[in-house]
Chains A and B, each alone.
Chain A
Amino acid sequence: MQSFTRGDSKAVWIAVALSVFLFVFLVLPIGKVIYVAFQNPHTGELTLLNFADFFNANLFRQSFFNSFYVAGMSVLLATLIAIPLAYYTTRFNFKGAVLIQTLGFVPLIMPPFVGAVAMVLLLGENGSVNLLLDEWFGFTIPFMTGLNGVILVESIHYFPFILINLSAALNNIDRAMEESAQNLGARGTRLFRRIVFPLAMPGYVAGAALVFIKVFDDIGTPLLLNINNMLAPQAYLRISSIGISDPMGYVISVILVVFSIFSLWVSLQAMRGKDYATVQKGGGGLAKRDMRAWEKTSCYAIIIIILLFVLSPHIGLTLLSFGTVWSFSVLPDGFTIGHYVTIFESASGYITNTLLYAGIAATADVIIGTAIAYIVLRTGIAGRKWLDYVSTGALAIPGVVLGIGYLRTFHDFQVPIIDKPLASWWVIIAIALTIRRLPYALRACMAALQQLSVALEEAAENLGATKATTVRRIVIPLMSGGILAGFITSFATASVELSATIMLVSQESDAPLAAGIYEFMQSSAGRGPGAALGMIAVLIVGLGTYLSHHVIERSKRERESIAVIAEEAKTHV
């Protein structure tokens, strides 16, 4: 047990503040929702009856199985997409790397439901590809039929989680490890199997767990593809059609929450007892080498095929946003820029709102994420792990449920000065996004800190630095890559979040992009403008991602100089 220094007491205050925030905006609203699951709808007393009903119903059991199957298959497919991309970018020197790392994020920045619309047009039963196949070869491929469609859309949408985390992990592997292994004679697959793979494992598991949980509780995609027999859509359907008082929706929510927390716990268990911290950070990453000509060709070929595949929603969306009428044909009948004109005339408010909400949410997320990561990994505060568990638990809360919880909890709370219920003030949307995206930022910050050896901080403190100085001068700069990755992930995904925001938008002037796109997509004449708005969303966030990538690269160079100092410090110790 560490002695109780001034720095620790500060950390305690921060921990208390964080706990209060999480309690008010996550635990309390969800607690209200969970309470209903255990309440007899007619008598109001506490009961397990609703759960008995759930497990007795064939439909719910089937939904449970389908959700599990889809989530598992999506992780598998997402892994198959992510591994080559991560491997090529971290292992070789070639110009395509920046392209991959930027384009690799792009799927995340499109609302999955928009992706599904575009994918249906391209790959659906009567989509472009199948119309062509049918005409030329007389057969079609059921890419999008039934659960296949969900798996395809989800894995294309969420594979960047694996890509980001895996690339970060690969980049953080100490080159010395690889070199030692090579000195000891390990080569090729053996080197990969015994050194690279185990060292990259924490990153991969973190990403895969995220994908699994996100797919497990995604609502929009299955609903848009008209798949009802899955848990999350059932919860949504129950709550939104039968009513806020139907207990089944809440029971499903509870089961989703429990199961997601359980799978996170399993992934934590798998990682247990494996210390992956490496001391040296500066020359991070595996040794990169140049590729031979034939390698380069096949590498580009594989990458182009994968990128074409994962960018198919964007290709479809581009066509849709410039197309006039696209109906049962390979391509739209004609092309126009009219939809963009419509959008610029009427929809700029959506864009400003999105930048505002997602900006607030992502900033708050990395601040909270860094603080929690530090408290959990570097202090001895009792119950500190609960900060991690609770904020990660937000991942398992379907957006609609969070939205309903907020409506219930905060509607009667008047915000002073502006005199409006908190539930209908735009700030609540930013808070909902903060809570919804906190787990992403937190994972990234945790991973960054986990890979940072505590020896560096101890060295700084031995040299007389206070805790606060150490955090400011050593920890945060060395974590910056992870923090930025967390910011990007939170920002990008918050800008396209729909499920919680759609419940909380109380007036049109507060609506963010995703809600705008969703609204446009609800009418025949609105499909084109909706797609155009979607393209603008993709461009804005894509640009943001690209810029942040530059910032990461720059801070990496700065880190290198810090690492040199650290290296020196180490040799002096």
Chain B
Amino acid sequence: MTRLFLTVLAATLFSIFNVLSTSPVAAASGKLVIVTSYPPDTTETVKKAFEKKHPSIKVEMLKKKTTAGIKYLQETSSNNTSDMFWASAPDAFEVLKGDDLLAKYSVKQKGIPEKVGSFPINDPDGYYKGFAASGYGIMWNTRYMKAKKLPNPKEWADLKDPVYHGHVGMSAPSRSGTTHLTVETVLQGMGWEAGWAEWKAMAGNFKTVTERSFGVPDGVNSGQFGIGIVIDFFGLSSQASGFPVEFVYPTVTTLVPANFAIVKNAPNPDAAAAFIEYLLSPDGQEVLLDPKIRRLPVNPATYAKAPKGFPNPFKDKSIGAAVKFDLGLSKSRYNVVNSLFDVMVTYRLGDLVAVTQAIQEAEAKAGGNAAAKKLIAEAKALVAKVPITEAQAADKSFNAIFKTKRKKATTKVKGRQAEVEKEWDDMVVANYAKAKALAEKAMNM
């Protein structure tokens, strides 16, 4: 009996010691399975650096697209084999947190500020942590711009200019977590109606909507199109890899943290904790400056080691300050925004590009003709029209249509996603056709 008591006491003391100890992770060992959306350039570089520091831990990277990663963790939750989730988009972590798939963790490392831009670096509820900051902006291929004699864009609004017609590429928000943030940022920064109008005016100049977020820097790097709407590290790392590209942050952008979190019921939570502590340490933060990675560290001190011209959001307060990104709002209409973008832009890009071209030509021709101008304004309004209001987009019961997973068999939802999307599609196609007819009429005036 005494012996049992002593064992229990020892075990308790040991675990208390573990919690109190500043480096509980020194003891961690074994295999660490990380589900990540990052390319090998990032994961291999970080993995090598981490394993050098913690030789007893072997890191297994499991590459999944953010959306696929969420699905993987959901599907395997009954029998979880992953320790960590490591990806850019904070809303992906919100989804996992909402499904109760993450474990809480408090960081020991010091020197990481509360906020970057106007965004808190760590999840206020303590589930996921930021390790780097990312902003969204515009990249372009300098050779392409020179060959096609295009000016360099600076703001989102510049991309509406007819000179860029057919030269811009972007990914779809439903396909890429980072693109979703870009779309949401503009919607929040400019308002629902104006934001969508802005997006559709830009999208009218699109050459393509790529399936993967990397499809955009890839297209710009190889010169398939000149300009891409991308997350900063795509632009910065392409530049560091030698491609003739440049990158700029527009005023309406937001800096959001890229995150990691320990998965609930992780087989090896100690190793996961070690990974978090390492990447937030000065050594780990410096790894982010590697030319293959080029992400903005969250430790302000690390910027002293950055190459010349590297953006520093802790110094340059203009980056990401214009918009206060509301994660709750983004989450409340996540699927609706994705679906709207797909219906209005991705799947109807051909129609949208055609009507935009007609409007641009009519505008160029109209000059001072008031009647033509009136028709053009009408056409623009038709193109800009959004099938639903902002209030409806955030409406809980309406959103439920887009969350087809039933919590209970008795849960009743009115309407089906396919049905709603068909309604939108009919409206969008009709509006684009009408607007095109108006623009053509204006052209012939």
Contact = CB atoms under 8 A, between A and B. Distances in A.
By CB atoms of chain B within 10 A, which of A223, A241, A244, A515 has the most? A241
Given A228-B346, A525-B292, A41 B404 contact: yes
A243 interface: yes
Interface of B: 33, 39-42, 44, 60-63, 65, 67-68, 71, 74-76, 78-79, 81, 141, 143-144, 147, 172, 174-175, 208-212, 214-215, 217-218, 221-224, 234, 237-238, 240-245, 291-292, 335, 338-339, 346-347, 402, 404-406, 409, 411-413, 416-419, 421-422, 425-426, 429
A38 B65 CA distance: 28
Interface in A48-66: 49-50, 53-54, 56-59
Given A54-B418, A57-B421, 16 more contacts: A42-B406, A44-B406, A59-B422, A224-B211, A228-B209, A237-B174, A240-B71, A241-B172, A241-B175, A242-B402, A246-B404, A327-B222, A327-B245, A407-B75, A507-B60, A523-B40
Interface string A499-535: 0000101111101000100011111111100000000
Nearest to A523: B39
A121 interface: yes
B33 to A, nearest CB: 6
A190 interface: no
Nearest to A320: B222
Which 5 A-B residue pairs are closest in the complex by CB-CB distance?
A328-B223, A523-B39, A53-B418, A524-B238, A241-B174
A30 B221 CA distance: 40
B319 to A, nearest CB: 22
A42 B223 contact: no
Nearest to B68: A240
A41 B40 CA distance: 37
B94 to A, nearest CB: 15
Nearest to B58: A509
A247 B74 CA distance: 18
Given A509-B60, A519-B39, A327 B143 contact: yes
Contacts of A92: none
Contacts of A120: 222, 224
A233 B211 CA distance: 10
A29 to B, nearest CB: 13
Contacts of A324: 242
Contacts of A245: 404-406
A42 B412 contact: yes
A524 B243 contact: yes
A44 B214 contact: no
Contacts of B211: 223-224, 226, 228, 233, 237
Interface string A540-572: 000000000000000000000000000000000
A328 B218 contact: no
A329 interface: yes
Contacts of A126: 144, 222-224
A5 interface: no
Contact of B62 (A229, A407, A508, A525): A508
A285 interface: no
B397 to A, nearest CB: 12
By CB atoms of chain B within 10 A, which of A50, A124, A226, A527 has the most? A226
A43 interface: yes
B165 to A, nearest CB: 14
Contacts of A179: none
Contact of A58 (B402, B411, B426): B426
By CB atoms of chain A within 10 A, which of B68, B81, B404, B406 has the most? B404
A519 B222 CA distance: 18
Contacts of A525: 41, 237, 240-241, 291-292
A408 to B, nearest CB: 7
A240 B347 contact: no
Interface of A: 41-44, 49-50, 53-54, 56-59, 120-121, 124-127, 223-224, 226, 228-229, 233, 237, 240-248, 324-329, 346, 407-408, 411-412, 420-421, 423-424, 503, 505-509, 511, 515, 519-527
Contacts of B421: 57
Contacts of B405: 243, 245
Contacts of A224: 211, 215
A541 B62 CA distance: 26
B237 to A, nearest CB: 5
A407 B64 CA distance: 15
A444 B88 CA distance: 47
A243 B404 contact: yes
A58 B61 CA distance: 41
Nearest to B174: A241
Contacts of A241: 67, 172, 174-175, 338
19 contacts: A43-B412, A56-B422, A57-B421, A57-B422, A59-B347, A126-B222, A223-B211, A224-B211, A241-B338, A242-B174, A242-B339, A326-B222, A327-B244, A329-B143, A346-B44, A421-B76, A509-B60, A524-B240, A526-B41
B234 A524 contact: yes
A228 B409 CA distance: 33
Contacts of A124: 222, 224
A126 B243 CA distance: 16
Contacts of B44: 346
A507 B83 CA distance: 12
Contacts of B413: 42
Contacts of A50: 416, 418
A421 B347 contact: no
Contacts of B223: 126, 327-329
A250 to B, nearest CB: 11
B57 to A, nearest CB: 15
A395 to B, nearest CB: 24
Contacts of B61: 508
A85 B17 CA distance: 75
B62 A226 contact: no
A524 B221 contact: yes
A42 B404 contact: yes
A327 B238 CA distance: 11
A324 B76 CA distance: 41
B357 to A, nearest CB: 16
Nearest to A414: B79
A329 B65 CA distance: 31
